[in-house]
Amino acid sequence: MKPVIFGLSGPVLTADERAFFAEARPAGYILFKRNVVDRAQLRALTDALRDLEARDDVAILVDQEGGRVARLGPPEWPSFPAGPAFDALYERAPISAIEAARANATALGLMLAEVGITVDCLPLLDVARPETTEAITSRAYGHEPMRVAAMGRATLEGLAAGGVVGVVKHMPGHGRAIVDTHHHLPTVTATDAELEDDIAPFRALAGAPMGMTSHIVFEAWDRDLPATLSPTVIEQVIRGRIGFDGLLMTDDIDMKALSGTPGEKAAASIAAGCDVVLDCWARMDEMVEIAGRLGDITPIGRARLDRAMASVAAPEGDFAALIEKRDALLALAAV
């Protein structure tokens, strides 16, 4: 098994993809809007991936946060709110906000499990600040570390109840970035002491099954390399001070925050201590390069993947009732 999660080019597996994936045996797959038409099509696609791997516990990921980041949407699926909606409720009624976040995540899990998706890249544990890039503030749970941790925990629990694995992101924190890593490499100049606020939510949820890195340079820890490529940040901060021992994946290595060829970036990420690489765009030449540069997943990486996927339980809950509960609670923010 290669330590990489690949994207797919369209709503069905192509012959080339089927042959390549059968040989490369990636650790998982990630889906985007280009892969989604309706329930029947999406379930057929995820079933095809399970058939290809000849196992049921394949990691099939999606970014389904709500708000601007949603790969499944109307008219086939309902819209979901993003983090700021729960943050607004927390200002008035913290316990209600936590319950709303849990109900929302359980409904999300049920919706994804129905179509065979097993991993949702949620929750964000990034602590928002006045200067934070809008790419994060439009999605984050707020500006207080423990508030973010509380709603992040409720979201992880809700996703698990709905039958999918959650992914905490973006380790060790994206809240101080003032530019979008899709386009630029941010540099954070905060001191080690100041960064305690950023890592606090991740430390509180250190037992999460999966986590995702950030493509950000933290000068207090490594002046030269972004977290994704930094052995210092991964081993001393993420694995050490935070205490995270789940499966650690990169954010999408195609983002412009990182430089080099896809294979170079993938190899450097694994060498730095990431368990798996996330490569989203399904460009066959790039996937071939990445697979050629990577060896097999490490034994500890495979154990972390297996442990995370074993945490998937049978979905429980009534979708309509959960949505009704969430909406009733969120309405309290406007009272």
- Amino acid of residue 94: P
DSSP of 182-241, one letter per residue? Answer: TT---EE---TTTTHHHHHHHHHTTT-SEEEE---EETTT-SSS-GGG-HHIIIIIIIII
Instruction: Find the catalytic residue in 63, 222, 251, 252.
Output: 251
Backbone angles phi, psi at 158, to 5 degrees: -65, -45
DSSP of 250-281, one letter per residue? Answer: EEETTSTTS-S-HHHHHHHHHHHT-SEEEE-S
Burial category of 130 from C-beta neighbours within 10 Å (exposed 0-12, middle 13-18, buried 19 and up): exposed
Instruction: Find the catalytic residue in 57, 143, 180, 182.
Output: 182
Q: Is 126 among the residues known to form the active site?
A: no
Asked if residue 170 lies in contact with residue 120, where contact means CB atoms within 8 angstroms, the answer is no
CA-CA distance, 276 to 270, in Å (whole number)?
7
Q: What is the β-pairing status of strands 26-31 and 2-7? A: parallel
What pLDDT score was predicted for residue 36?
Answer: 98
When computed from its CA atoms, the radius of gyration of the chain, rounded to whole angstroms, is 19
* 228-237 per-position pLDDT tens digit: 999 999 999 9
Asked if residue 163 lies in contact with residue 109, where contact means CB atoms within 8 angstroms, the answer is yes
Q: Is 251 among the residues known to form the active site?
A: yes
Helices (H), 54-121: 83-92, 94-114
CA-CA distance, 218 to 257, in Å (whole number)?
13
Backbone angles phi, psi at 5, to 5 degrees: -115, 120
What pLDDT score was predicted for residue 296?
Answer: 98
What pLDDT score was predicted for residue 17?
Answer: 98
Tell me the torsion sign for CA atoms 141, 145, 149, 150: negative
pLDDT averaged per 10 residues in sequence order, the chain, 335 residues: 98 98 97 98 98 94 97 97 98 97 98 98 96 92 97 98 97 90 88 97 98 96 97 98 98 90 96 98 97 98 98 92 98 89
* 6-35 per-position pLDDT tens digit: 999 999 999 999 999 999 999 999 999 999
Burial category of 55 from C-beta neighbours within 10 Å (exposed 0-12, middle 13-18, buried 19 and up): exposed
Tell me the torsion sign for CA atoms 164, 140, 280, 234: negative
CA-CA distance, 319 to 310, in Å (whole number)?
23
Element (DSSP H or E) covering residue 120: strand 119-120
What pLDDT score was predicted for residue 179?
Answer: 78
- Amino acid of residue 259: S
- pTM above 0.85? yes
What pLDDT score was predicted for residue 182?
Answer: 84
Among residues 9, 78, 72, the alpha carbon closest in space to that of 37 is found at: 72
Tell me the torsion sign for CA atoms 230, 231, 236, 237: positive
What pLDDT score was predicted for residue 275?
Answer: 98
Among residues 69, 59, 30, the alpha carbon closest in space to that of 210 is found at: 59
Would you state the structure tokens that stand for residue 49, as one six-digit string?
A: 């991936």
CA-CA distance, 176 to 35, in Å (whole number)?
33
